Structure 1
Amino acid sequence: MNPKHDSIVAKLPSLAHSNISIKRYGAILTMLLDASPLKDILHSLVLLIEEEKLGTIGSILLLSDDGKRLLTGAAPNLPDSYNQAIHGIEIGDGVGSCGTAAFTGQRVIVEDVSTHPYWEPYKALPLSAGLHACWSEPIKDSQGKVLGTFAMYYDSVQSPTDIDLALISEAARLASLAIERSSALQFQRLTANIFKHLPIAMVVTDAHGTILDANPTFYRYLQCQPTDYVLFDPQIVFQPSGQQLTLMCRQLQSNQAWQGELIGRRVGGEYFHLELTVSIFKEQGSDEQYSSWLFSDISERKKASELIYFQANYDSLTGLANRNHLFRVMESEIESDNQTRGFAFMLMDLDNFKQVNDTFGHDKGDQLLQAVSTRLQGCIVDNSLLSRLGGDEFALFLPGIVEERELVAIASKINDAVSQPIKLSGNKKVLTSVSIGITRFPEDAMTLEQVLNCADQAMYISKDEGRDCFHFFTEQMQQNAERTANLHAALKLALDSHAFELYFQPIICLTTNKIIRAEVLLRWEHEGKFVSPEEFIPLAESSGLIVDLGHWVRQESMSFLLTLQETSPDIGLSINVSMYEFWSHSLQDNLINSILNIALNLTAEPFPFDMLTIEITESLLMKQHNHLIASLQKLRNMGIKIAVDDFGTGYSSLSYLSHFPIDQIKIDKSFIQNSDHSIKQQALVKAITTLSHALDLNVVAEGVESVEELEFVRTAEIEAVQGFYFYRPMTKASLLRLLD
């Protein structure tokens, strides 16, 4: 027996009491078995019915996929105009014979179209085509779902006989079989096509691993031909998966499915990552087990995922862990229960890296960072994590290592390794070093933020104390950091609330022994104590407040200068200006404009700029920029004198003095104090004085505190002095009383 034939015959309607000839019935059956197109089968079925009952004009309408409209299936003898008119008509109760039958699922017999209410809105259409009666039978599938309608039209008013009703019923059942068979074949073809073109591999096997079917993608993934694989053995195909493969096989013994990621091996030995779904099933009525293996090649996705993971957790330049990865590991260690062993953390910053970057270029700077990271990796111990935090900053996480002896050995090894000459491309050799700050958890800090802050403080101590060294964090560092933070916050409030005060230290002319000027000094009393300028001025410079603070000092000083002019017109003032106010062209212009604007706001009369001296630091002379020289010259053109303060403490070079528009130098007190005990010191001061005079510069000696120092200054022919021997810094009121 043919199984195809059996499956169709089982669904055929009974031919008892049927006038349809077995021969013609067989023709329909043959078309079904041959998988003829549905259109041809329905066409033949309509002609068969029309032959069986003369005078009948048959029509098959198919229900649309949305179940709302009827579409032409087959009606070879109906007028084309009529077929076109009813094609796509919406079904509904009272919508002609077919529309009502499809909507209700019940047979509709209309003997006279001209009088039946179902046809009232539409009767002109069939009557014009010569159609006067219409019997319609709903076509239903095996589940009772309406698939369409089979209609029999007549050119006269007619009522069906019992034989007619049997005929239309059996015709509808034959149409149902054809439609269902066509749908099944279409679905089968669609399924096969999908299976063939599926972009993922699929293979079906029996219980022994014999391949029953496999799509082309399966063979493409494994890079083989169908003859290469008769049996599908997961132990061979997925062998590189190791433990994961074992877990899958174990689970499939107790479950009917498994899903996960494995590693496959192609025929040539190449490995690839795959995502697999396994299902074990049985066919209905059979005890035989089958397996479907559905997998996709996710190698590219894995590579992308690994790349994303690497970029998220590692530094692309050095390959070291980045800050995110490092901090996550440290945070995990801090939050773990294993706090008894603790850990150490080293923060490392390259010394003079900017100089290498600026001198040789960023590509050489990158090479230097790579070379340093390689050397650092040669110094670390097992289980430690080396990281590049960014720029020229590195960090080393040392879990379980807190002993000072061990940490000293590691830090010393790092200092020694990094300080060795490094050869870059182009035969360029550079020297660098690293400053290290070391802190320990939980001894020094209890949170990640605290660990980082403590290491940062210790590292900057290493920077301040000569670089190329290491320091452990101490409690004193924390206290200093807290004080700095508090002063930093209080500094802005002090400026806004005018908490600063000006003091003045007179400068004496040694020829007349009279006061000729006074240096303006800034004082700040905070929480009942004076804060040293050496402490708060750097804070103001680092925070950017120095510009506003400098403006306030100039405004108060210039206002006081006008007051002095009323009583002591021969007394001038010297005002210190931070080098940060000369840092850029715009800041230099801002300084000049601020002085001019203050003068305009203070008086309508010409301001006595000739009684004003601006003191700059010696380090500013290193910036031999045309704009800076032009800015100083503008100040001199206004009448302001330019003095170099603390001369001798920076990059001392009298050659700089010849390039700058300056009027005087102030020799730092370190050269004056105890000069009576040092012949070399005396010779140096005399040489500076002689050369300064040769450049037509006035000289002021700072820090004169004894008779011996004063006598030395006189013998060196220095024309003015400043120091405790004469006067200590005093308030505005005290200076006014002194001058009176």
Structure 2
Amino acid sequence: MQPKPTLPYPLAFALSPCAQLIADADGVIVAANQAACRLLGAGEAALCGTRCAPLPANANERALGGGLRLIVLEPECAAASAGLPMSVGKSVLELIAHGAPLPRVLTALAQGIERANPEVRASILLLARDNRHLLLGAAPSLPDFYNEAVHGLAIGDGVGACGTAAARGERVIVEDIASHPYWAPYTALARAADLAACWSEPVVNPAGKVLGTFALYHARPASPTEADIAAITEAAHLASVAIERSRTLEAMQLSDLILRASSEAMLVMDEARRIQTVNPAFTTLTGYPESEAVGLDARVLRGPSNRPERIDMVEAELRAKGRWQGEFWLATREGAEFPARLTLDSVAHGSHTHTVAIFSDFSQKKAAERAIWQQANHDNLTGLPNRRHLLDRLARQITASAGRLAVLFVDLDHFKNVNDSQGHGAGDALLVEAGRRLLSCVRAGDMVARIGGDEFVVLVAEADKVQAGRLAERILDALCRPFVLNGEACHISASVGVALHDTFAGVDAETLLGQADLAMYAAKQQGRNSAHFYVDALQQAALERSQMLRELRDALRRQAFTLVYQPVVELATGRIRKAEALLRWQNDAGEPVSPDRFIPLAEEAGLMPEIGEWVLQQAAKQAARWRRLDPGFVVSVNVSPVQFRRERSSVPLTETIASLSGIAVEITEGVLLDADPAVQTQLLRLRDAGVEVAIDDFGTGYSSLAYLQKFDIDSLKIDRRFVQHLHLSGVDLALCEAVIVMAHKLGLSVVAEGIECEAQRALLARAGCDYGQGFLFSPGVPADALTAQLVAGRAAETSSAP
């Protein structure tokens, strides 16, 4: 097939509204313009190579030189186009071919028509992007006020000639503006602009989409001739070409601007994976300059870390779906790899398919994701996995371990003492070192997690009871070794709870961890520094504790506690001088619950400060009644250590107690040794307020004589364990005598607890003990019963008086 001939005005031929063919000397078609393709219903590729004979009767032709001839299939179109001089079409097409700005092209078209026919004034309006309004394109001979009024005109049926033509997509001829209903709202405007007739042609693209309007105005009413219709038709066609070409150029320029300005690297490659174009971000990211990248095989950008099967998957999905998006390793010009977020799109271009690749360096985002994951799954202090990570790993291992799995719950004993005495910095250092020691006890594949405070969990796969027990022993030994904090040796221990998944198969991660926690709690109860395996009885005990705690909270809300009072007797006279307030509680079943059970639970649950306040208030009221019988009578109240650590307890312990005469406070030796500044501050407030303070269970702890003086302690209470086995030559008697002598030397009084027989009372009285309490005198009794005892004692004293 002969190549397409070179024409003097190729664009004029291609875009002419007249159907035109170019044939060689043998009558074989070598070129066809758009109008001919539309008329014959075939594309140029299908027409070229076929013979054009026989020609229609109305066709005419002329020689072009070189054996070629131009065949015009619609001579009436050529004749009609006499209304639009060839010079106008030629100049407009040349402007379009050279990429002149659209306003310049449209103005040239309007002016060319006006020069050819001085009686008309041309106007070209463009349909706005919203497809609802017309904007001024070119109207060089219309007055400015008219153009300003028309600019932004809303299209619609009956809205002038141009608004109607744009809305309908068809030609609108208004021969007399003054009388036409379409122009009724605009007659004054038209009269001011000296406009009497308007012929408007919609400007449409080949797909039939309206782009605007082309209109000719007359100063007098006028009807268009066939030549006029041909002129506005061809002018509208040329305007369509100019608008489409301008928008195509704008789109291309915008695309190129986006390509150049994008922060993401872009490249286009052909079917052979040869790079066709790249943007500056591509050069920045890969190091390949554009001059070197174009023509390069894009596969050199693949990083070696991509597995072959992944590359095959990407290629297959791109072929099947035309798009692939995901993470992919790419390589720079120097060979350095980086993770990229890559998007591949197949784009059809004529008979070929190109691939557009857009990618960005994913390194920083992946690093940020790793940091976020690290923060979400690890403890910030120790770097160990946290509870979330532990439970995730535990759940996966439960599925995969076939039952052989051990969870060890490790709680550091007395860690709070380290924090309080040496500061949180030392406490943090201890936790970090404890984590290291735990890691040294396990295998590389095992997990050590810190799940909060001083609690750690060790997760061991493929471990039976014997192996778990040995690991627990190693952990206890490791944590018993001294920790060096602030240059000093610090000793702690640990309590370890062990739960085995093979023993309790079928449980989930949360349940297994809870079982280990219960076992740890049991280890603490049996004396700390020990390990305990989970058994079902622990679960039952936990349920009972939970039930008791619910009932205890309800009792606190309803103030369903009671107080009994045990007399404290002056051993020298036998008179009741004091009483100790003892808290009692019955559960929902009406059964009395031992204080040894519910008070530790209340302390653990944080209920003791509120309960303690209630006890103080009730005891103070009762003390006021008894002091009317005996002005020197005192009621002592046990104050829990946790009450000293709660700021809210400062009111009942200092202000309230100081304002209520007849109340004494009993504390344990451990409170004196508590290094918490808040505790010491509370004790000093009690001393300064003149409140009587007694040390309960003296001799069972680690009291210091210096503390007895510092806090101005008033009395000591000898623990019942030293009283129970008193006899004349026993060690317990010697200890009691030593305490009594020491206390008296320090100006303190002494109370012996647990006196149950006359022999014990006599020995203690002979040793100089000041007071005694116990079942020999009276158990704890209700306030009314103790009142009766006080009244009876006073009556006896009165009757025996001389």
* TM beyond 0.5: yes
Match of 1:73 among 125, 137, 142: 137
1:628 is matched with: 683
1:10 is matched with: 14
Once the 2 structures are TM-superposed, how far is the Cα of residue 324 of structure 1 from its aligned partner? 1.2
In structure 1, what is the Cα distance between the partners aligned to 2:729 and 2:226? 143
Identity among equivalent positions (%) equals 37
In structure 2, what is the Cα distance between the partners aligned to 1:307 and 1:212? 38
In structure 2, what is the Cα distance between the partners aligned to 1:677 and 1:83? 128
Once the 2 structures are TM-superposed, how far is the Cα of residue 622 of structure 1 from its aligned partner? 4.1
* Residues 1:438 and 2:489 aligned together: no
Q: How does 1:532-547 map to 2 (within 5 A)?
A: 532-547=594-609
2:59 is matched with: none
In structure 1, what is the Cα distance between the partners aligned to 2:624 and 2:243? 111
- Equivalent pair of 1:437/1:457 in contact (CA under 8 Å): yes
Q: How does 1:308-323 map to 2 (within 5 A)?
A: 308-323=372-387
Residues 704, 2 of structure 1: alpha-carbon distance in 2 compared, 3 angstrom cutoff: farther
**Matched residue type, 1:238:** G
SS of 1:378's equivalent in the other structure is: helix
**Matched residue type, 2:108:** S
Deviations 1:189-236 (A, max 9, x none): 223333333332222222332222222222222122134433234365
Residues 716, 2 of structure 1: alpha-carbon distance in 2 compared, 3 angstrom cutoff: farther
Deviations 1:390-417 (A, max 9, x none): 222211222342x221002222222333
**Matched residue type, 1:13:** P
Residues 302, 9 of structure 1: alpha-carbon distance in 2 compared, 3 angstrom cutoff: farther
- Equivalent pair of 1:618/1:645 in contact (CA under 8 Å): yes
Deviates more, 1:698-707 or 1:622-631: 622-631
Q: How does 1:709-720 map to 2 (within 5 A)?
A: 709-720=760-771
1:688 is matched with: 739
- Equivalent pair of 1:196/1:216 in contact (CA under 8 Å): yes
Match of 1:454 among 515, 522, 528: 515
1:273 is matched with: 339
2:91 is matched with: 27
Once the 2 structures are TM-superposed, how far is the Cα of residue 520 of structure 1 from its aligned partner? 4.4
Residues 645, 367 of structure 1: alpha-carbon distance in 2 compared, 3 angstrom cutoff: closer
**Matched residue type, 2:372:** I
- Equivalent pair of 1:70/1:90 in contact (CA under 8 Å): yes
- Equivalent pair of 2:301/2:332 in contact (CA under 8 Å): no
In structure 1, what is the Cα distance between the partners aligned to 2:615 and 2:188? 106
Deviations 1:113-169 (A, max 9, x none): 444444444334344444433333332222233333333333444333322332232
1:376 is matched with: 438
Match of 2:452 among 380, 386, 390: 390
In structure 2, what is the Cα distance between the partners aligned to 1:362 and 1:553? 34
Count of aligned pairs between the two proteins:
718
2:721 is matched with: 670
In structure 2, what is the Cα distance between the partners aligned to 1:278 and 1:690? 94
- Equivalent pair of 1:237/1:266 in contact (CA under 8 Å): no
1:46 is matched with: 110
**Matched residue type, 1:160:** P
SS of 1:676's equivalent in the other structure is: coil
Q: How does 1:504-515 map to 2 (within 5 A)?
A: 504-513=565-574
SS of 1:149's equivalent in the other structure is: strand
SS of 1:275's equivalent in the other structure is: strand
**Matched residue type, 2:155:** I
- Equivalent pair of 1:238/1:245 in contact (CA under 8 Å): no
Residues 253, 617 of structure 1: alpha-carbon distance in 2 compared, 3 angstrom cutoff: closer
2:46 is matched with: none
- Equivalent pair of 2:122/2:215 in contact (CA under 8 Å): yes
In structure 2, what is the Cα distance between the partners aligned to 1:164 and 1:552? 107
Deviations 1:508-528 (A, max 9, x none): 544445655554444445546
In structure 1, what is the Cα distance between the partners aligned to 2:728 and 2:570? 25
Once the 2 structures are TM-superposed, how far is the Cα of residue 389 of structure 1 from its aligned partner? 0.7
In structure 2, what is the Cα distance between the partners aligned to 1:84 and 1:724? 112
Q: How does 1:313-462 map to 2 (within 5 A)?
A: 313-333=377-397, 336=399, 340-401=402-463, 403-422=464-483, 430-441=490-501, 443=503, 446-462=507-523
- Equivalent pair of 1:206/1:290 in contact (CA under 8 Å): yes
In structure 2, what is the Cα distance between the partners aligned to 1:290 and 1:400? 55
In structure 1, what is the Cα distance between the partners aligned to 2:239 and 2:150? 19
* Residues 1:702 and 2:753 aligned together: yes
**Matched residue type, 2:721:** S
Q: How does 1:560-571 map to 2 (within 5 A)?
A: none
- Equivalent pair of 1:506/1:519 in contact (CA under 8 Å): yes
- Equivalent pair of 2:410/2:497 in contact (CA under 8 Å): yes
Residues 158, 536 of structure 1: alpha-carbon distance in 2 compared, 3 angstrom cutoff: closer
2:324 is matched with: 258
Deviations 1:683-710 (A, max 9, x none): 3322222232233433333333456544
Deviations 1:328-369 (A, max 9, x none): 3334555x4x68515221111233433444444434433333
1:176 is matched with: 240
2:637 is matched with: 576
1:240 is matched with: 305
- Equivalent pair of 2:268/2:356 in contact (CA under 8 Å): yes
Residues 398, 130 of structure 1: alpha-carbon distance in 2 compared, 3 angstrom cutoff: same
In structure 2, what is the Cα distance between the partners aligned to 1:184 and 1:390? 64
- Equivalent pair of 1:61/1:74 in contact (CA under 8 Å): yes
In structure 1, what is the Cα distance between the partners aligned to 2:236 and 2:454? 86
**Matched residue type, 2:469:** V
* Residues 1:722 and 2:788 aligned together: no
Once the 2 structures are TM-superposed, how far is the Cα of residue 250 of structure 1 from its aligned partner? 4.4
In structure 2, what is the Cα distance between the partners aligned to 1:21 and 1:731? 125
2:43 is matched with: none
Residues 8, 418 of structure 1: alpha-carbon distance in 2 compared, 3 angstrom cutoff: farther
Residues 91, 408 of structure 1: alpha-carbon distance in 2 compared, 3 angstrom cutoff: closer
SS of 1:123's equivalent in the other structure is: helix
In structure 1, what is the Cα distance between the partners aligned to 2:673 and 2:450? 34
- Equivalent pair of 2:275/2:298 in contact (CA under 8 Å): no
Once the 2 structures are TM-superposed, how far is the Cα of residue 666 of structure 1 from its aligned partner? 2.6
Q: How does 1:462-481 map to 2 (within 5 A)?
A: 462-481=523-542
Residues 684, 27 of structure 1: alpha-carbon distance in 2 compared, 3 angstrom cutoff: same
Match of 1:146 among 210, 213, 217: 210
In structure 2, what is the Cα distance between the partners aligned to 1:562 and 1:37? 104
Residues 143, 222 of structure 1: alpha-carbon distance in 2 compared, 3 angstrom cutoff: same
Extract unaligned runs of 5+ from structure 2: 19-76, 797-802
In structure 1, what is the Cα distance between the partners aligned to 2:639 and 2:7? 103
Extract unaligned runs of 5+ from structure 1: 600-608
Residues 16, 433 of structure 1: alpha-carbon distance in 2 compared, 3 angstrom cutoff: same
- Equivalent pair of 1:503/1:522 in contact (CA under 8 Å): yes
- Equivalent pair of 2:580/2:635 in contact (CA under 8 Å): yes
In structure 2, what is the Cα distance between the partners aligned to 1:546 and 1:114? 99
Deviates more, 1:164-173 or 1:474-483: 474-483
In structure 1, what is the Cα distance between the partners aligned to 2:276 and 2:340? 22
1:603 is matched with: none
SS of 1:690's equivalent in the other structure is: helix
In structure 2, what is the Cα distance between the partners aligned to 1:495 and 1:116? 93
Q: TM-score, normalised by structure 2?
A: 0.79
Residues 630, 201 of structure 1: alpha-carbon distance in 2 compared, 3 angstrom cutoff: closer
Deviations 1:611-658 (A, max 9, x none): x7654434444468465344356455xxxx654332222223444444
1:602 is matched with: none
In structure 2, what is the Cα distance between the partners aligned to 1:135 and 1:558? 108
Residues 93, 486 of structure 1: alpha-carbon distance in 2 compared, 3 angstrom cutoff: closer
In structure 2, what is the Cα distance between the partners aligned to 1:553 and 1:41? 99
In structure 1, what is the Cα distance between the partners aligned to 2:150 and 2:499? 89
In structure 1, what is the Cα distance between the partners aligned to 2:631 and 2:179? 130
In structure 2, what is the Cα distance between the partners aligned to 1:343 and 1:263? 38
- Equivalent pair of 2:562/2:585 in contact (CA under 8 Å): yes
Residues 706, 100 of structure 1: alpha-carbon distance in 2 compared, 3 angstrom cutoff: closer
Deviations 1:492-522 (A, max 9, x none): 4556667655555454544445655554444
- Equivalent pair of 1:137/1:168 in contact (CA under 8 Å): yes
